[in-house]
Structure 1
Amino acid sequence: MFRRTEPTDCMITWDGAALPARAGEPLAVALLAAGITHFRDTAVSGTARGPLCLMGACFDCLVQVDGEANVQACMVTVHAGLRAAPQHGARDLDDAA
Protein backbone atom coordinates (compact mmCIF):
# COMPACT_ATOMS: atom_id res chain seq x y z
CA MET A 1 0.00 0.00 0.00
CA PHE A 2 2.56 2.58 1.14
CA ARG A 3 6.25 2.57 0.27
CA ARG A 4 9.00 4.57 1.92
CA THR A 5 11.10 6.82 -0.29
CA GLU A 6 13.64 7.73 2.39
CA PRO A 7 15.44 5.56 4.97
CA THR A 8 14.20 5.20 8.53
CA ASP A 9 16.14 6.71 11.42
CA CYS A 10 14.53 5.35 14.60
CA MET A 11 12.62 2.40 16.04
CA ILE A 12 9.16 2.37 17.62
CA THR A 13 7.21 -0.45 19.24
CA TRP A 14 3.77 -1.53 18.02
CA ASP A 15 1.98 -4.09 20.17
CA GLY A 16 5.34 -5.41 21.40
CA ALA A 17 7.05 -5.60 17.98
CA ALA A 18 9.87 -3.27 16.94
CA LEU A 19 9.21 -1.28 13.75
CA PRO A 20 11.40 1.11 11.77
CA ALA A 21 10.15 4.69 11.48
CA ARG A 22 11.28 8.24 10.79
CA ALA A 23 11.36 10.75 13.64
CA GLY A 24 8.83 13.51 13.01
CA GLU A 25 6.45 11.55 10.78
CA PRO A 26 2.88 10.83 11.95
CA LEU A 27 2.50 7.51 13.77
CA ALA A 28 -0.28 6.48 11.35
CA VAL A 29 2.15 6.88 8.43
CA ALA A 30 4.83 4.81 10.18
CA LEU A 31 2.34 2.01 10.85
CA LEU A 32 0.95 2.04 7.31
CA ALA A 33 4.49 1.98 5.89
CA ALA A 34 5.14 -1.12 8.03
CA GLY A 35 2.07 -2.81 6.53
CA ILE A 36 -0.17 -2.33 9.58
CA THR A 37 -3.75 -1.33 8.74
CA HIS A 38 -5.64 -2.57 11.84
CA PHE A 39 -5.36 0.18 14.47
CA ARG A 40 -8.44 -0.46 16.63
CA ASP A 41 -11.62 -2.52 16.99
CA THR A 42 -15.06 -0.92 16.99
CA ALA A 43 -16.99 -1.00 20.25
CA VAL A 44 -20.21 -2.54 18.91
CA SER A 45 -19.17 -5.15 16.32
CA GLY A 46 -15.46 -5.54 16.98
CA THR A 47 -14.71 -4.69 13.34
CA ALA A 48 -11.11 -3.74 12.55
CA ARG A 49 -10.58 -0.06 11.77
CA GLY A 50 -7.65 1.94 10.49
CA PRO A 51 -6.90 5.50 9.43
CA LEU A 52 -9.38 7.04 7.04
CA CYS A 53 -8.81 10.79 6.80
CA LEU A 54 -5.20 11.12 8.09
CA MET A 55 -5.99 14.63 9.31
CA GLY A 56 -7.64 14.16 12.71
CA ALA A 57 -11.31 14.43 11.71
CA CYS A 58 -12.57 10.82 11.76
CA PHE A 59 -11.16 9.18 14.95
CA ASP A 60 -10.82 5.79 13.19
CA CYS A 61 -7.11 5.64 14.06
CA LEU A 62 -7.45 5.73 17.87
CA VAL A 63 -4.58 3.85 19.54
CA GLN A 64 -2.73 3.72 22.84
CA VAL A 65 0.52 5.70 22.85
CA ASP A 66 3.05 5.52 25.68
CA GLY A 67 0.30 4.22 28.00
CA GLU A 68 -2.30 6.85 27.06
CA ALA A 69 -5.53 5.66 25.41
CA ASN A 70 -7.73 7.46 22.86
CA VAL A 71 -4.85 8.97 20.89
CA GLN A 72 -5.27 9.67 17.18
CA ALA A 73 -2.33 8.02 15.43
CA CYS A 74 -2.49 10.53 12.58
CA MET A 75 -1.89 13.41 15.02
CA VAL A 76 1.06 11.89 16.96
CA THR A 77 4.60 12.66 15.90
CA VAL A 78 6.98 9.70 15.98
CA HIS A 79 9.99 9.84 18.29
CA ALA A 80 12.60 7.19 19.04
CA GLY A 81 11.29 4.67 21.56
CA LEU A 82 7.61 5.50 21.11
CA ARG A 83 5.39 2.65 22.34
CA ALA A 84 1.96 2.17 20.78
CA ALA A 85 -0.70 -0.54 20.75
CA PRO A 86 -4.10 -1.14 19.19
CA GLN A 87 -7.16 0.10 21.03
CA HIS A 88 -9.96 -2.40 21.62
CA GLY A 89 -13.60 -1.54 22.21
CA ALA A 90 -15.16 1.73 23.28
CA ARG A 91 -13.02 4.64 24.24
CA ASP A 92 -13.28 5.81 27.83
CA LEU A 93 -14.85 9.27 27.72
CA ASP A 94 -13.40 10.11 31.14
CA ASP A 95 -9.91 9.88 29.60
CA ALA A 96 -10.76 11.75 26.39
CA ALA A 97 -9.35 15.23 26.09
Structure 2
Amino acid sequence: MPGRLRHLQTPLPGKTVEFVINGRKVVGREGDSLLTAILANHKAVRQSEFGDGLRAGFCFMGACQDCWVELSDGGKVRACTTLLEEGIHVSLPEPKL
Protein backbone atom coordinates (compact mmCIF):
# COMPACT_ATOMS: atom_id res chain seq x y z
CA MET A 1 0.00 0.00 0.00
CA PRO A 2 1.56 3.33 -0.97
CA GLY A 3 2.02 5.77 1.84
CA ARG A 4 0.57 9.20 2.43
CA LEU A 5 3.96 10.95 2.71
CA ARG A 6 6.77 11.07 0.17
CA HIS A 7 10.41 11.96 0.82
CA LEU A 8 11.53 14.81 -1.41
CA GLN A 9 15.20 13.88 -1.55
CA THR A 10 16.31 10.67 -3.25
CA PRO A 11 18.39 8.80 -2.50
CA LEU A 12 17.71 9.54 1.13
CA PRO A 13 20.65 10.26 3.41
CA GLY A 14 21.24 8.13 6.46
CA LYS A 15 20.73 4.55 7.43
CA THR A 16 17.71 2.44 6.49
CA VAL A 17 15.72 1.18 9.48
CA GLU A 18 13.49 -1.90 9.11
CA PHE A 19 10.27 -2.14 11.11
CA VAL A 20 6.94 -3.94 10.83
CA ILE A 21 3.40 -2.64 10.24
CA ASN A 22 0.66 -5.26 10.70
CA GLY A 23 3.10 -8.09 10.01
CA ARG A 24 4.53 -6.47 6.85
CA LYS A 25 8.21 -5.51 6.81
CA VAL A 26 8.79 -1.93 5.72
CA VAL A 27 11.63 0.57 5.92
CA GLY A 28 12.10 4.06 7.28
CA ARG A 29 15.13 6.26 7.77
CA GLU A 30 17.28 6.75 10.84
CA GLY A 31 16.07 9.90 12.60
CA ASP A 32 12.46 9.60 11.34
CA SER A 33 9.65 9.85 13.83
CA LEU A 34 7.53 6.71 13.98
CA LEU A 35 4.64 8.71 12.48
CA THR A 36 6.70 9.84 9.49
CA ALA A 37 7.90 6.28 8.88
CA ILE A 38 4.37 4.89 9.18
CA LEU A 39 2.88 7.45 6.80
CA ALA A 40 5.66 6.89 4.26
CA ASN A 41 4.47 3.26 4.10
CA HIS A 42 0.77 3.34 5.01
CA LYS A 43 -2.23 5.54 4.18
CA ALA A 44 -3.38 6.24 7.74
CA VAL A 45 -2.74 5.68 11.42
CA ARG A 46 -6.33 4.89 12.34
CA GLN A 47 -9.99 5.18 11.45
CA SER A 48 -11.84 8.17 12.89
CA GLU A 49 -14.17 7.27 15.73
CA PHE A 50 -16.38 10.25 14.82
CA GLY A 51 -16.98 9.51 11.16
CA ASP A 52 -15.88 7.43 8.20
CA GLY A 53 -12.58 9.24 7.57
CA LEU A 54 -9.03 8.00 7.97
CA ARG A 55 -6.76 9.76 10.48
CA ALA A 56 -3.07 10.41 9.88
CA GLY A 57 -1.93 12.50 12.79
CA PHE A 58 -2.53 16.21 12.98
CA CYS A 59 -0.06 18.37 14.88
CA PHE A 60 3.22 16.40 14.53
CA MET A 61 4.34 17.66 17.98
CA GLY A 62 2.45 15.52 20.53
CA ALA A 63 -0.34 17.93 21.43
CA CYS A 64 -3.40 16.66 19.56
CA GLN A 65 -3.25 12.97 20.66
CA ASP A 66 -4.32 11.88 17.16
CA CYS A 67 -1.35 9.59 16.46
CA TRP A 68 -1.47 7.01 19.27
CA VAL A 69 -0.46 3.58 17.93
CA GLU A 70 -0.32 0.16 19.51
CA LEU A 71 2.93 -1.79 19.62
CA SER A 72 3.16 -5.57 19.45
CA ASP A 73 3.96 -5.74 23.17
CA GLY A 74 0.59 -4.12 23.96
CA GLY A 75 2.06 -0.72 24.77
CA LYS A 76 0.84 2.47 23.14
CA VAL A 77 2.93 5.46 22.03
CA ARG A 78 2.40 8.79 20.33
CA ALA A 79 3.93 8.10 16.92
CA CYS A 80 4.83 11.74 16.26
CA THR A 81 7.06 12.03 19.35
CA THR A 82 8.55 8.52 19.19
CA LEU A 83 11.71 7.93 17.17
CA LEU A 84 11.68 5.00 14.76
CA GLU A 85 13.60 2.01 16.10
CA GLU A 86 14.96 -1.01 14.26
CA GLY A 87 12.56 -3.96 14.50
CA ILE A 88 9.64 -2.13 16.14
CA HIS A 89 6.28 -3.82 15.45
CA VAL A 90 3.24 -1.54 15.03
CA SER A 91 -0.36 -2.74 14.94
CA LEU A 92 -2.68 -0.43 13.00
CA PRO A 93 -6.39 -1.02 12.46
CA GLU A 94 -7.18 -1.85 8.86
CA PRO A 95 -9.09 1.09 7.32
CA LYS A 96 -12.74 0.54 6.49
CA LEU A 97 -13.20 1.58 2.90
The two structures have a TM-score, normalised by structure 2, of 0.72
Is 1:67 aligned to 2:73, yes or no?
A: yes
| Aligned mate of 1:25, from 24, 32, 42 | 32
Instruction: Please state how far the C-alpha of 1:56 moved relative to its aligned partner.
Output: 0.5
Structure 1: which 5+ residue stretches go unaligned? 89-97
Task: Tell me what 2:61 maps to.
Answer: 55
Contact preservation (8 Å) 1:64, 1:87: no
Measured in 2, the distance between the counterparts of 1:60 and 1:77 equals 17
Which residue of 2 is the match for residue 93 of structure 1? none
Q: Distance in 2 between matches of 1:48 and 1:69?
A: 22
Give me the whole-angstrom Cα distance separating, in 1, the residues matched to 2:52 and 2:85. Answer: 30
Q: What is the identity, as a one-letter code, of the residue corresponding to 1:78?
A: L
- How many residues align structurally? 87
2:86 to 80, 87, 91: 80
* C-alpha displacement of 1:70: 3.7
TM-score (norm 1): 0.72
Partners of 2:43 and 2:60 in 1: CA distance: 13
Name the % identity: 24
